[in-house]
Structure 1
Amino acid sequence: MSSSTRQPRRSDTRQRIQDVALELFAEQGYEKTSLREIAERLQVTKAALYYHFRTKEDILVGLFEDLTRPLDELVAWAREQPRTLETKQEVLRRYSRTLGSAAPLFRFMQENQGTLRELRIGVDFKERMMGLVGLVEPEGATLIDRMRCMSALFTLHAGMFALRDVEADVEKRRLAALEVATELITTAHAGTGTARPS
C-alpha cells in the first residue's frame, strides 16, 4: 500500500505514546507503570504526555478505541448480511485477521484480566464479544451449540496467545485456530448439539 493511500494515523506522537505505554504495561503490568515512566521512556516531559493523555486509563481507552473500531465495523457488516453459515465463517475470518493485527493489545488483555475488570473498557469489550457471539450463533441454538460458538471465538484467542510456545509461526497458529473455530461454528450450524444424558 502506498503512503498516499494508507489511512492516516491520528498523530505520530499519540501513537508513539500508546505503543510505548503498551510495551511498559506488558513488561511490568498496568498497575506498576506510571505516567512518569512512560514519559521517560519516550524522552518527553510529563506535560507533553498530558497534552495527549491525562491518565493511564485514557491511554488504554485510546488503544481500545483503535482495536474496537475494526470490531465495530465487522459487527455492522455482519448485521447487514444474510445469517448464513458462509457469513458466520467470514465473520470468523475477519475477526481472526483483526486479532492478528492487534496482537500486543490482546496479549495485554490476556495477562491483565483482573485490571480490565476494574476499568470500563473491560465491560465495553465484553459486551462487544457477546455481540459477536450472537452473530455467529444459529437461530434457536441449543446450549451446546451456543457453547460451540463461544468456544470458536476463544479458540481464535488461544491461537494468538495460549499457543505461543507451540513450534509454529504466528500465521500458522492463526490459521490452525481459524480452522478449528470454523469447524465449531459449522457443527453448531448443523444443529448437532443435542443434550447427552449424564
Structure 2
Amino acid sequence: MAGRRTDTRERIQRVALELFAEQGYEASSLREIAERLNVTKAALYYHFRTKEDIVTSLLEDWGAALDDLLERESRPAELLTAYAGLVESRFGPVMGLVQRNTTALKAIAAGAGLADRMIRLHERLCGGSADPEVDLRARLALVAVQLNSAESGPGTSPEVALAVGLDILSPGRNPGT
C-alpha cells in the first residue's frame, strides 16, 4: 500500500509541475490538477491540501536528494557530475518552477532549507579552498548545470552543460581538448 501511495504522490507532483509550467503557479488551481489527474478534489486532498503543500513536497524531495548526494560524494568533479544527474533526471523542472515563480514561492523555498544545502554543495565544490577564483569557478559550474536544465524549449544538451561545468570547475582537466 505504501508503494501505491508513493506512486500517487509522485503522479500528483508530476502533473502539478506540468500545469504550473503551462499556466504558471498562481494561475493553476487544485481543481485543475484534480481534473487533469481524473480524480476528485477530495482524493487529491488526501495527499495534498494545498498547492503550497505540493511545492513543499517537491522542494523537500530535492533537499533530501541533495543531503544524500552530499553524504555520498566528496570529490568536486564527481559531486558536480552526480548533481547534474539529479538536475537532469528529476529536479530541473522543479528548479524551473522556482525560477519562474520566485515571488510566489519565496517563503515556501526559504522554509525548505535549500539555500543551506546549496551553500554546502558550493563549499564542497570548492574543495576546501578559500581562493576567490576557486569560489567563482564553483558558482559558475553550478550555474552551467542548473540554468541549462531549467530552461524551457530546446537548449544545450545536458552532457554539454556538464562538460562546460566541469571545465569551469577544473580548467585543464582534459589536456588536448
User: Scaled by the length of structure 2, what TM-score is found?
Assistant: 0.83
> Which amino acid in 1 is paired with 2:149?
M
> Which amino acid in 2 is paired with 1:96?
A
- Structure whose residues are more often helix by fraction: 2
Is 1:184 aligned with 2:165? no
Counterpart CA distance in 2 for 1:51 and 1:174 is: 36
Is 1:108 aligned with 2:112? no
User: Scaled by the length of structure 1, what TM-score is found?
Assistant: 0.75
Deviations 1:115-153 (A, max 9, x none): 232324566222211110011113342223211111110
- 1:84 corresponds to which residue? none
Is 1:141 aligned with 2:130? yes
Deviations 1:36-81 (A, max 9, x none): 2211222222111111111111111222233332221111123xx4
How many percent of aligned residue pairs carry the same amino acid? 41
Is 1:90 aligned with 2:74? no
Stretch moving more, 177-186 or 50-59: 177-186
- TM-superposed CA distance for 1:175, in Å, is 1.4
Give the number of equivalent residue pairs: 170
- 1:21 corresponds to which residue? 16
Do the aligned partners of residues 142 and 164 (structure 1) sit closer, same or farther apart at CA in structure 2, a change above 3 Å counting?
A: farther
Q: Name the Cα RMSD after superposition.
A: 2.4
Stretch moving more, 119-128 or 17-26: 119-128
- 1:129 corresponds to which residue? 118
Is 1:42 aligned with 2:30? no
Q: Is residue 74–residue 94 contact of structure 1 (8 Å, CA) maintained in 2?
A: yes
Do the aligned partners of residues 180 and 130 (structure 1) sit closer, same or farther apart at CA in structure 2, a change above 3 Å counting?
A: same
| Gap regions ≥5 residues in structure 2 | none
Deviations 1:141-190 (A, max 9, x none): 22232111111101111332348434x5xxxx211111111122214x9x
Please give the secondary structure, in 2, of the residue aligned with 1:129. helix
- 1:196 corresponds to which residue? none
Q: Is residue 64–residue 121 contact of structure 1 (8 Å, CA) maintained in 2?
A: no
- TM-superposed CA distance for 1:24, in Å, is 1.0
